[in-house]
């Protein structure tokens, strides 16, 4: 497999898991089939569309390559029809979301570097790709955006993006190390969720109600 095939497969995997995360959130809100697919689309393709607009790759892959929309639709519909019990969906959403965050951060940072965006900008584009879909999903379903919640989220993505830029700089950006970077983001996010790791709050701020 060439590097671009690996990137495509990783991207489609990210689309599938983010679509599933969006669809799970929409099913939990009792939206109908099309609402579920729509939220799945936004969660799956929103981050990548933002990325492609920023690096001026138009039309964005989500519109130019039918495999993206088809993957998002199939994954969303699969969650709609096959999810076993609604009560168990919330943990699933969080794990799928962490996987999508990890995959999209790495592929988004790579795409930005390939498009000639400088190092710091590429980190931000990678983070934006990673968190964009989840942000859209949360705004649509009326949840407080996960990125603003206490546990480490955007910072896991940013850390992964910095790792990818450093690997690229040092010429070590081979598939194995990139997958490792994604796994580190994924693990960091899951551990942060389980241990309720969070960043400090401003000095003098009362605890949230």
The answer to whether 46 and 132 are in contact (CB under 8 A) is: yes
CB of 9 to a second copy, least distance (A): 20
158/55 Cα distance (integer angstroms)? 18
The answer to whether 145 and 65 are in contact (CB under 8 A) is: no
**Cα–Cα nearest to 162, from 199, 108, 115:** 108
Could you say whether residue 174 binds a second copy (CB under 8 A)? no
88/24 Cα distance (integer angstroms)? 10
Q: Which is nearer to a second copy, 55 or 181 (CB)?
A: 55
Could you say whether residue 20 binds a second copy (CB under 8 A)? no
Which one of 74, 94, 114, 124 is in contact with a second copy (CB under 8 A)?
Answer: 124
Neighbours of 16 (CB within 10 A): 22
CB of 87 to a second copy, least distance (A): 10
Tokens of 7: 């990137």
Tokens of 76: 């969303």
Could you say whether residue 81 binds a second copy (CB under 8 A)? yes
Could you say whether residue 169 binds a second copy (CB under 8 A)? no
Could you say whether residue 103 binds a second copy (CB under 8 A)? no
Residues in touch with a second copy (CB under 8 A): 26-27, 30-36, 38-39, 49, 53-56, 58-60, 62-66, 69-70, 80-81, 83, 85-86, 112, 115, 117-122, 124-125, 139-140, 142, 144-145, 147-150, 152-155, 198-208
């Amino acid at each position: 497999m060439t590097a671009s095939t690996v990137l495509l497969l990783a991207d489609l995997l990210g689309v599938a898991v983010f679509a599933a995360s969006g669809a799970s959130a929409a099913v939990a809100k009792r939206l109908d089939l099309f609402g579920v697919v729509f939220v799945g689309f936004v969660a799956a393709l929103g981050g990548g569309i933002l990325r492609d607009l920023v690096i001026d790759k138009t039309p964005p892959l989500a519109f130019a390559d039918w495999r993206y929309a088809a993957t998002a639709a199939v994954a969303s519909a699969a969650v709609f029809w096959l999810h076993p019990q609604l009560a168990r969906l919330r943990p699933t959403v969080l794990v799928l979301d962490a996987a999508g965050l990890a995959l999209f951060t790495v592929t988004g940072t790579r795409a930005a570097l390939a498009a000639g965006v400088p190092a710091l900008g590429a980190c931000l584009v990678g983070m934006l790709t990673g968190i964009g879909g989840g942000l859209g999903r949360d705004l649509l379903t009326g949840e407080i955006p996960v990125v603003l919640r206490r546990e480490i989220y955007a910072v896991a993505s940013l850390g992964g993006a910095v790792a990818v830029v450093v690997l690229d700089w040092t010429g070590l950006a081979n598939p194995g190390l990139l997958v490792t970077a994604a796994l580190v983001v994924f693990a960091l996010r899951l551990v942060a969720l389980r241990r309720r790791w969070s960043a400090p709050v401003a000095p003098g701020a009362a605890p949230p109600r």
